[in-house]
Structure 1
Amino acid sequence: MLPIFIAFAAIGLINLCYYLGFFRFAFSTPEVTSEKDSLPVTVIICAKNEAENLRNFLPLILSQDHPDFEVVVINDASGDETLEVIEEFQQKDARVRVVNVKNNEAFWANKKYALTLGIKKAKNPYLLFTDADCRPESDRWLTNMSSQFTAQKSIVLGYGGYFVENRSLLNKLIRFETLFTAIQYFSYANWGLPYMGVGRNLAYTSDEFYKQNGFASHLHVRSGDDDLFVNQAATSANTALCLSPQGITRSIPKKDLRSWIEQKRRHVSVAGHYKKRHRFLLGLFYTTQLLFWILFFVLMFSSFWQLALALLAVRFIVQGMVFYNSGKKFGETDVFWLFPFLELFLIWVQLGIFIANLIAKPTHWK
């Protein structure tokens, strides 16, 4: 059993180094947004069959405390009253602009095509993206996100969380996974290796979009309008982070485990198109997590069980510090108390998703 314990200790050390690397983000202090920050911003929302969500959440976008912004709402070939709802808002508020997308053979049900049309419609050079089911945490969301732009920073990563709709274990799992993912992409950006962002709360300039030739390099990939664009365009020099509690959005989570797993299958399939260095680092992190737990359970039936428990305790302490302090930033501290269970469950779910994607491609949200 000694070789297994040595392997366990080595794997645990590698995994622990990642968590220690997350400390910089977890213990960072959000910058105070200056009142003078008032860049001209276009909020872009791509909506497909989102009539009810637009009725509920678009007024919160329009009530943002920001002096210069417009909202481009894209009707992405909806089958419900989405277009009619957008037009109603347009009649009441001149800041609302409509893009009506109809399916065609070349770009059938392609969100990237719809977003490209919306970006071309934008009058302002600073673009802020969110979804139709997203609610800003405050009326300063737009200002907090856009204030991160500078002459050098053309991409801003924000936090897009989910509503606490009930006390179910699924809701906590979804929010924990979202927080865990955010810890990683914010931390990697701090390391100078930005690799993804979430379309629920993401900003970049139109100049950056056209500089990258839009979504052309990954237009063949149905998903990934947010993370693949960031993976392609983001660098240590041009990427900023918005960590203010007022710069958060929250959206409606999936209602059942099957729908959420199908959503995660699509996300995992997109990750296969990341740059090689990102795939390696993310893969190493997940592999050390998985092997740590497998070897831990093996060692629990050996004479090394006490040492294995001691290493697990050290890992839990470091993890706890990361999850708690990160959770405080984004109002997710309630999931902290369940992190040992949620992490273990998430590891096995991710393994199942990886295997399922090898067998068959996930269905697309469209």
Structure 2
Amino acid sequence: MMVLLILYGALAVFELFLMFRFQWKQKQVHPPVKDKPVSILVCARNEAHNLADCLNALIASDYDFSKVELLIGDDNSEDDTRAIAARFSSKHSFIKVYDIQHEKDGLIAKGNVLAQLVDYSTHEIVLIIDADMIVSRHWLKTMVGALSADTQMLSGYTQILRQKGLLVSLQYFDWQVVLHSMKAMADLIRPISILGNNMGFQRSAYNAVGGWRGLGPTDVEDLGLLQLFQAKGFKTSQLISAEGFAQTKPQLTLKESIEQRCRWMNGVFTHHFILALPAFFARLWLLVFAVVLCFSWQVALVVLAYGTCSNIIKFLQISRRANGNTKFPLLVPWLTSLLDTFALIRLAVKGKVSWKGRKH
């Protein structure tokens, strides 16, 4: 019990330090004076229900589209994704559609799609946005401005698109809390992770590290590429912006949400093993609380206070800074930890994770 008490005490002190820095010291990003040439990559596999919303939002961006190329990679979709992409391409000359070769050069999942799209792209600044994302009007300017001469890779600011329902509220709350930690750690030391659904990099740096082909087959292509950039000494950063953000559509079922968390956990356990232990106790605190309660209610109370208070404070801090909604159901901090527990059990039992219906 004493070990757990010391562990959660140390976590609480470190979290307080990060919260203080988040409140009073953040690196700011300014948009470029003029629009620069940029390539936008969109991976699409069975995204007929999302793609039109994504493309309409991108087209509405406050940007000079004579300097934009928007490349859509259709990864052997089994629905109307290809037809929808082709319709937009016929109306807008800057939109191009490419059929993706399955597991080309031995690459798998999203990394395979992105590697091929980068080959087709031509500009130095490359942005990646998922097909289920809806960008704000200033997202494009903000992302390009953040990829300045001294920043070679950028993780964008993503929010869950708020809808009615407890599961959506859970996801919105959790995304905000996770992004708080990502931003605080990025500004303190360097990014510990990256959002693969909303990111960008400089092509010259990408080529220097070998790109996704340098990683080989992996289902955590975003985190793997981040680590390649950092290993080569390139500057990486996490963005939080009230204007330049993107919204992702929430997972609508409990099964989908757990599958998504399994992919995240798999990335931590396979690429950030040193962080896996503190992440386990920080994320699955409700499980620890339930076990410890059988032996010491005092220590269990410390765990409960840590898990509840730290998550609520981080949520409120980032929501206020990004002009987000600060309301949430009372039990959300508990339920997000419970979802992580379910995801860990599922990952331990089944092992494999899936992406767009493919298991890896």
> Which secondary structure does the structure 1 equivalent of 2:321 belong to?
helix
Q: 1:241 to 1:106 in 2, by over 3 A?
A: closer
What is the alpha-carbon distance in structure 2 between the residues aligned to residue 198 and residue 362 of structure 1? Answer: 21
Counterpart in the other structure of 1:142: 140
Query: Once superposed, what is the RMSD of the aligned Cα atoms?
Result: 2.9
Q: Is the 8 A contact 1:155 1:239 kept in 2?
A: yes
Counterpart in the other structure of 2:46: 49
Counterpart in the other structure of 1:323: 315
Q: Is the 8 A contact 2:41 2:126 kept in 1?
A: yes
Q: Is the 8 A contact 1:22 1:322 kept in 2?
A: no
Q: Is the 8 A contact 1:11 1:291 kept in 2?
A: no
Within a 5 Å distance, the mapping from 1:188-337 to structure 2 comes to 188-221=185-218, 223-234=219-230, 238-283=235-280, 285-286=282-283, 291=288, 294-295=291-292, 298-300=295-297, 319-330=311-322, 331-335=324-328
User: 2:175 matched to 1:178?
Assistant: yes
Q: Is the 8 A contact 2:29 2:146 kept in 1?
A: no
What is the alpha-carbon distance in structure 2 between the residues aligned to residue 220 and residue 25 of structure 1? Answer: 36
1:13 to 3, 9, 21: 9
How far 1:126 moved relative to its partner? Answer: 0.6
What is the alpha-carbon distance in structure 2 between the residues aligned to residue 136 and residue 271 of structure 1? Answer: 27
Summarize deviations over 1:118-165 as a string: whole Å, max 9, x none. 01111111111111111112x111011111122221011112221112
Q: Is the 8 A contact 1:131 1:200 kept in 2?
A: yes
Q: Which one scores higher on RCO, CA 8 angstroms, separation ≥ 6? A: 1
Alignment-mate amino acid for residue 41 of structure 2: I
What is the alpha-carbon distance in structure 1 between the residues aligned to residue 29 and residue 116 of structure 2? Answer: 34
The TM-score with structure 2 as length reference comes to 0.86
Within a 5 Å distance, the mapping from 1:150-169 to structure 2 comes to 150-166=148-164, 168-169=165-166
**Ranges in structure 2 where 5+ consecutive residues have no aligned partner:** none
Counterpart in the other structure of 2:352: 362
Max Rg structure: 1
Summarize deviations over 1:276-321 as a string: whole Å, max 9, x none. 4444553464477754664467443xxx59xx75896687555543
Within a 5 Å distance, the mapping from 1:50-129 to structure 2 comes to 50-67=47-64, 68-103=67-102, 107=106, 110-129=109-128
How far 1:98 moved relative to its partner? Answer: 1.8
> Which secondary structure does the structure 1 equivalent of 2:341 belong to?
helix
How far 1:17 moved relative to its partner? Answer: 2.0
Alignment-mate amino acid for residue 141 of structure 1: W
Q: Is the 8 A contact 1:148 1:241 kept in 2?
A: no
Q: Is the 8 A contact 1:160 1:250 kept in 2?
A: yes
What is the alpha-carbon distance in structure 2 between the residues aligned to residue 36 and residue 155 of structure 1? Answer: 20
What count of residue pairs does the alignment treat as equivalent? 351
> Which secondary structure does the structure 2 equivalent of 1:52 belong to?
coil
Q: Is the 8 A contact 1:171 1:253 kept in 2?
A: yes
Counterpart in the other structure of 2:342: 352
Identity of aligned residues (%): 19
How far 1:179 moved relative to its partner? Answer: 1.6
Summarize deviations over 1:207-264 as a string: whole Å, max 9, x none. 222122112354322x212222223323786012321111111121111111211121
Summarize deviations over 1:321-361 as a string: whole Å, max 9, x none. 332111223414123x63xx333333333233223322222
What is the alpha-carbon distance in structure 2 between the residues aligned to residue 100 and residue 74 of structure 1? Answer: 6
Q: Is the 8 A contact 2:37 2:125 kept in 1?
A: yes
**Ranges in structure 1 where 5+ consecutive residues have no aligned partner:** none
Q: 1:255 to 1:27 in 2, by over 3 A?
A: farther
